[in-house]
Structure 1
C-alpha cells in the first residue's frame, strides 16, 4: 500500500487524467450495452380481439402499440362497412411490439334494412324507397324492374304483392329492389307477349306464367360474372306450348341469409316431376311448390333457379309422390 501511495505521489498529472478518462469510458460503454439489449428485446403485449370492430376506431391504438398494419379488403353485403373480418395474429396471443399484422376489412356503402312494401300502392312504394333510414340519415334504395301480374280477387290495381329482396334483409344501397305489382286498370298485355319478362326476377316471371295457367321450364342456367344479374331472366321463348326460360346465375362463395340458389338434376327415368321447397325463417316453416309437375325425358336435366329467404330445403318428387332428390341451403354466417 505504501508503495502504491508513493507511486501516486510521483505520478504526473497526465496519469490522473488518463485514469479518470478510462473510468468514464467503461461507465458509458456499460450504459450503452444496457440500452442496446433493451432495444433488441421489446416488451411483449397481448394481442387484442379486433374481429367485428370498426377499423377506424382501433387504428390509433394499433399505431400506439407499434403494429405495422397491412389491410386486405373483402366485400360482404351483410357486414358493416369498415368491419374487421379477420386478423393474422390470434387474439390473446403474446406478441412483440412492432409486429406485422394483416387485417381483412369489409368495404361497403350505406347499409339499410329493406322495408316491407307489400300491400302498398306502387306510388307509395316508390316514395318510401326514396327515404330509407341508414344509421341517422335517410338514403334512397334504387328500384329495379317492375313485373306486372294479373290481380286475384280482392287485390287492388297497382298494388305491390311481393318484392325481392324480402323485407328485413340487411343490405346496402347498391342492391336494387324488384317489385311484383298487380296490373293497373286498362292494362293490355297479350297472353303470348312475354318478351317483357326478360330482365325480370325468375320468381316473378314464373308466377306470372302460373297465373295464366301456362307451362314453363328453365331450359338453361347462364353463368354470369355480375352478381346484380343473378336470378334475372336472360331470355324466354315458346316451344311446343311451353315457355322455356334461360336464367342468369352468379355462384357465391359464402351464403348470407337470403339470395338466389340453383339446382341441376339429370333424370334417370322418364316421368313427371315437381319441386317442393320447405323454407324456414324467423316466422317459422313454410312449404310451397315452386316448380309444378312437368314431363322430363330420360337424361334430361331438371333445372331451377329460385330466391331463398332463410334456410331452405328442396325436394324433387315424381308424379307418384316418390322422393327423387333433396337439396339443403343454409346461411354460412
Structure 2
C-alpha cells in the first residue's frame, strides 16, 4: 500500500471519528432538551399548601413550573405570609404552566403599637394620628377612654392601653386607653364602689377593665365566658354586675383556630377554695399582672391578651396553684 493510500485512510478515519463524536454530542443535547421540555410539561399531583408559609413552598411550586398568582387578604388572627386558600385542590392533577391562585394573608402595612403608658393622653392621641412606616403615614383611631382616680399620677396620664405595646395593629383600627384622673366626680365614684358607672366599661377590652379595677383596688371576677364567632368582639366585656362586694364580669371570647403570635387566651380552672389570688404573665423575668382578687375563688375564669411566648402563673396566698406555658403554633 502506497503512502498516499495510507494517508487517505487515516484522513477518512479521522473524519469518521469526528462525525461520531458530533453525532453523540447532538444526541446528548437533544435528550437534554427533551428531558427539560418533558419536565416543564410534566404531570404532578397538587400538594396541600394551605396553612404553609408561601416562602416555604415557593421552590416546590417553581419546580412544578406552575403559573402562580398571589391574591392578598388579611385576617388579624393569622400570621402574615401564610397561605389561606389554593385554587387547585390537594390531590388534583396539574401540568406545567397550569395556573394556580394562592390567597396569602398579607396587608399593605402592619403597625407596631407604641407604648403609651406614662404619656399624657393628649400626646398619645396626637401620636396615633401620624404613624410612619416605610415612608408612608398611617393612623390608629381613638377607641374608648376610661378614667380611674389616681393621685399619684398627673391628671390625664395613660395608665394602660389596648392593644398593648409591641402588639400589631391594622391601620385605622382602634386603641383603647385607661387614663388617670384627679377630678372629684371620679373620686366620688370610686369611693362608693357600687356606684361606679359600669355602663361605660361595657364593650371595653378585658385588659383595660382589669387594670382599672386593680388600680382602684376593686375585687372582680369573670363569672362567664361567652363564646363568639366575631373576632372583633373577642376580649370585650359584655356585661358587668355588682354582687357580693365584687364586680362580676361576662367576657366575649373567640377561640382561635391556632395559637398565633398574639391573641386572646381563655383559661378555666378549679383552684378553690382560695383567697388572695393573682394571675401573672411571665417572660424572661418580666411579669405582667392580669388579675388580682382578695375574695374567695372557687373556679377561676380568665380571658387575657398574649403577645409572643408567655407563662401564665396563678398564685394564691403566695403559692403557685396553676401554671401553663403558652407558645405560638406559628412564629410571628
Provide the TM-score with structure 2 as the length reference.
0.68
Contact 2:275–2:296 (CA under 8 A) maintained in structure 1: yes
Kindly tell me: are residues 125 and 50 of structure 1, through their superposed partners in 2, closer, same or farther at Cα, counting changes over 3 Å? closer
Partner of 1:331: 328
Question: Is 1:218 matched with 2:222?
Answer: yes
Partner of 1:271: 274
Deviation track 1:267-287 (CA, whole Å, cap 9, x = no partner) reads 4x5333624324216xx5326
Contact 1:115–1:167 (CA under 8 A) maintained in structure 2: yes
Contact 1:87–1:101 (CA under 8 A) maintained in structure 2: no
- Worse-superposed segment, 256-265 or 184-193: 184-193
Kindly tell me: are residues 110 and 239 of structure 1, through their superposed partners in 2, closer, same or farther at Cα, counting changes over 3 Å? same
3-state secondary structure, aligned to 1:294: coil
Contact 1:51–1:87 (CA under 8 A) maintained in structure 2: no
CA distance in 2, matches of 1:265, 1:140: 39
Partner of 1:314: 312
Deviation track 1:56-85 (CA, whole Å, cap 9, x = no partner) reads xx9xx97xx9624476766443755xx464
CA distance in 2, matches of 1:151, 1:200: 20
Contact 2:178–2:212 (CA under 8 A) maintained in structure 1: no
Partner of 1:179: 177
Q: CA deviation at 1:197?
A: 1.4
Partner of 1:150: 149
CA distance in 2, matches of 1:103, 1:266: 45
- How many residues are matched? 275
What is the root-mean-square deviation in Å for CA atoms of aligned residues?
A: 3.9
Unaligned runs of 5+ in 1: 1-33, 90-94
Contact 1:51–1:86 (CA under 8 A) maintained in structure 2: no
Unaligned runs of 5+ in 2: 1-29, 45-51, 89-93
Partner of 2:158: 160
CA distance in 2, matches of 1:140, 1:248: 27
3-state secondary structure, aligned to 1:270: strand
Partner of 1:291: 292
Contact 1:50–1:84 (CA under 8 A) maintained in structure 2: yes
Kindly tell me: are residues 255 and 208 of structure 1, through their superposed partners in 2, closer, same or farther at Cα, counting changes over 3 Å? same
